[in-house]
Structures are given as structure tokens and as C-alpha cells.
Amino acid sequence: MVREFHFEQRSHLFTALAAECQDLLSESVSKHGTATLLVSGGSTPAPLYEALSKFDLAWKKIKVALVDERWVDQQHAASNEALIRRTLLINNAKAASFTGMKTAAERAADGQAETETKYRALPQPFTVAIVGMGNDGHTASLFPHAEGLNAALQEDGDQLTAAINAEQSPVTGPNTERLTMTVSALLKCDRLIILLTGEDKLAVFDQAMKPGPVEDMPIRALLNQETVPVELYWAP
């Protein structure tokens, strides 16, 4: 079951979602002594991250890690790590620890093992993951029919991370080589939150909610499972 929260304005969405994340992280720190916030790149969640960064949370006890990353250096304009450092790991959230995905390896497949080791050191269950969705139905870097997709979709897979080489499209842009958390890893979260804006994305989401091949719209792997609660936060 996917719970849907629709807002008339994006500002209302970000206010509500920031408060929800604050509650989830605070509860985890209180219960477990730590919390893990999994974050995605893209322009949509930036206001959420900036709002969160100002909250008076026990940031020293919160681990921040990426859901996925383009295989580019941090100085690259497409780097998700750069976005997170610029929008979230500021203000009060500077005290949080951060786990990135990009390594010095030339290829994502060559760097996967090193990143896997770092992700296995993060406390589980992960508290909350913020994911988006593209107009092609991808989420994280789980792109339709990508090289490496089938293994990354396995709900009972052993790996937390997987190398992906997507088919180039207007959605992927030139950076088709990625590292992503697997579906198995995302199902180790206490909560999955899908953050979307725009009528076009809502139409794609509605299509993904209908029966169809997961390989065509990989976000279905999250929508069709019953292990972890999933919430959609949407505004025009």
C-alpha cells in the first residue's frame, strides 16, 4: 500500500516532509542511538535538504548516505555528492557524517566493492530513504533495461550497491554509468519516501502503479512490495 500526500504548493510539501523526516530521525536516534538518512540527487529535493539542515537534530548521531551516484568526480556539475554537500551538509547538519559512492576507480563496476564495504558499515535498518522518479519510471539509478538492472532488482539479493550502465536517453543525459543502492538495500529502510513535483511526474507515477513489467518502470519494484511502508509526497 502506497500512502499519497498531495499538496497545492511545493512550499507546503517541503515544510510537511521536512517535519516528517525530523520526526523519523529523532525517533531513530532516541530508540537506537543513531539514524541513517539516505538521500537522492536532482534539483527537486534541494529545498527539503536546506530546510532539514537548519533543524536542531542530534546530527552527530546521524549518518547521511547517497541512494545513487553518477560515476563522475565531486567537482563535476552532475555529482550528487556535490549537491548534498552544498544543500544538506550545511548549517546544523554539518555535524552529520557522510558516506558517498564515488571512488577513485575508473569504472563504477571496479569501485562497487569498495563502496559496498562502506555501506555495510552503516547502521541498519536504515531510517528513511528519499527517492525520486524520472519520466521513464526509473528510481535511484535503476533505469529501464539497463545493464546490471536485473541483479539490482532482486528483493532477496545480497548486495547493497550495484553498478549500472543505463541506455542513454534524454533522462540519463551523457552520464549513463552509475552506482546505485539495490532494491534489496532500499527494503532495509524503515520508510521509503518518493518525492515528486509536476503533473507530468504524477501521470508517470499513476502509470507505474498499474500492473506491468518492472523492467519497463523499475520504480514498480518499490511500489509493489509489502516489506516497507512507501509514501508519495507530490505537489504541482
| String of DSSP letters for the chain | -EEEEE-SSHHHHHHHHHHHHHHHHHHHHHHHS-EEEEE--SSTTHHHHHHHHTS---GGGEEEEESEEESS-TTSTT-HHHHHHHHTSSGGGGGSEEE----S-SSHHHHHHHHHHHHHTS-SSEEEEEE---TTS-BTTB-TT-BTHHHHT-TT-S-SEEEEEPPP-TTTTT--EEEEE-HHHHTTEEEEEEEEESHHHHHHHHHHTSS--TTTSTTHHHHS-SSS-EEEEEE-
Instruction: Kindly list the domain boundaries of the chain, sorted by start residue.
Output: 2-235
**Successive 10-residue mean pLDDT values, the chain, 236 residues:** 96 98 98 98 96 98 98 96 98 98 98 98 98 98 98 97 97 96 98 98 98 98 97 98
| Entry pTM | 0.97
Q: What pLDDT is attached to residue 1?
A: 82
Domain 2-235 indexed as CATH 3.40.50.970: no
Q: What pLDDT is attached to residue 141?
A: 98
Q: What pLDDT is attached to residue 114?
A: 98
Q: What pLDDT is attached to residue 203?
A: 98
Q: What pLDDT is attached to residue 167?
A: 95
Q: What pLDDT is attached to residue 3?
A: 98
Q: pLDDT by residue (tens digit) across 89-121?
A: 999 999 999 999 999 999 999 999 999 999 999
